[in-house]
Amino acid sequence: MAGTALVLGGGGLTGIGWEVGVLAGLADAGIDLADADVVIGTSAGSIVGAHLASRRRSLEELYEHQLTAPAADGPAARMGPAALARFAAIAVRSRDAVAFGARMGKLALAARTAPEEQQREAIARTLGGLTDWPARRLMITAVDAATGQRTAFDGTSGVRLIDAVGASCAVPGIYPPVTIDGTRWIDGGVHSSANADLAAGYARVVVIAPMPVSGGPIDGPRSQAARLARRGTRVCVITPDRAARSAFGRNVLDPAKRADAARAGRRQAATHVPEIHPLWSATA
């Protein structure tokens, strides 16, 4: 067992801001998680992961963008307590994560949303010109809307980066599923909010999870991390503290909250330096 993995979970626009803030705050203390051997991104984490692995922008530039990024052209999409409660009700009726994924896929396929091409254009703007898979290994999760099965796209999958990220960010009922070679894909967070189990086999793992959701068929990042630890992995999980959760507000897709979330993440990072520094600087 060797190597390092950085796992970036889903969490909407506020999740993007908070993750970038945490990463920037750790960098302030000399901890560069961008040098991980693999970056595993889910939903919001796929966007942050793509930027981080590409190194086209510095962390400080990514952080400043969270503070100055323009608001949405129209009313913000909503993923608040009501939507999460609806998803939870579907989870209760599902025997496992695959069955839950299929149910959520059915919801996504039936929902009236913006056209797929419009959402692709929005993802392209979010990626800020990134078109090619980075040289550093990047894994992006998504769920087959028909079968509920999870996959992890990477640079060897033959899938465009923009489509992989779009699929991973396709929140059921809010954004349209993404079509790739005839298959419709939805948010990788449907299977797990972080998909930290994909880091199996790596010696040292840091999981940054804006929405540490678990329960029923959904496997949360802490339970996944515990299983990794039992297999010999050194792992640390960072989830939002009280101040960060307050900064997120009640709608994680509200762009007006992104800057506050980024600032909260940067402040919070300092509390995790004592545990992450020895882990990340250790000899594999």
Question: Of the ranges 69-78, 179-188, 196-205, 213-222, which one carries the lowest mean pLDDT score?
Answer: 69-78
What pLDDT, on the 0 to 100 scale, is given for residue 73?
47
Please give the Cα distance from 257 to 117 (Å, whole number): 26
Comparing 219 with 166, which gets the higher pLDDT?
166
Predicted pLDDT at 221: 94
Quote the tokens at residue 224.
Answer: 């996944």
User: Are the beta carbons of 17 and 265 closer than 8 angstroms?
Assistant: yes
What the block records as the tokens of 38 is 């693999």
Given a cut of 70, whether residue 261 has pLDDT beyond it is yes
Of 144, 163, 187, 197, which is the active-site residue? 187
pLDDT of residue 214 exceeding 60, the answer is yes
What does the block give as tokens for 227?
A: 């299983």
Q: Return d(Cα 96, Cα 109) in angstroms, integer.
A: 20
Task: For 120-178, write each residue's pLDDT tens digit.
Answer: 999 999 999 899 999 999 999 999 999 999 999 999 999 999 999 999 999 999 999 99
* Residues 133 and 42: beta-carbon distance below 8 Å: no
Whole-model pTM: value is 0.94
CA proximity to 114, closest of 52, 175, 24 = 175
Residue 278 pLDDT > 50: yes
CB 31 within 8 A of CB 64: no
- What average pLDDT does the structure give for the chain? 92
Confirm if 76 and 90 have CB atoms less than 8 A apart: no
Measuring CA to CA, which residue among 163, 165, 219 is closest to residue 190? Answer: 219
Question: Considering only CA atoms, which of 276, 215, 271 is closest in space to residue 243?
Answer: 271
Catalytic residue among 43, 94, 168, 193: 43
Tens digits of per-residue pLDDT, 81-120?
Answer: 767 777 777 877 888 999 999 999 999 999 888 899 999 9
Confidence of residue 71 (pLDDT cuts 50, 70, 90): low
Whether residue 281 lies in the annotated active site: no
The pLDDT, as a whole number, for residue 75 is 54
Structural domains for the chain:
2-14+33-68+113-256+265-281 (3.40.1090.10)
pLDDT cut 70: percent of the chain above it: 94
The confidence score (pLDDT) of residue 79 equals 66
The whole-number pLDDT of residue 91 equals 76
Where helices occur in the chain by DSSP H, the ranges are 12-28, 44-54, 59-68, 81-92, 97-110, 116-127, 161-168, 221-230, 242-248, 258-281
pLDDT at 69: 79
The answer to whether residue 43 is catalytic is yes
Looking at residue 2, its pLDDT comes to: 86
- State the DSSP string of 130-166: --SPPSSEEEEEEEETTT--EEEE-TTSS--HHHHHH
Report which DSSP code applies to 219: P
Is it the case that residue 77 has pLDDT exceeding 80? no
Q: What are phi and psi of 140, to 5 degrees?
A: -125, 125
- Give the residue-averaged pLDDT of 239-260: 94
* Confidence class for position 284, pLDDT limits 50, 70, 90: very low
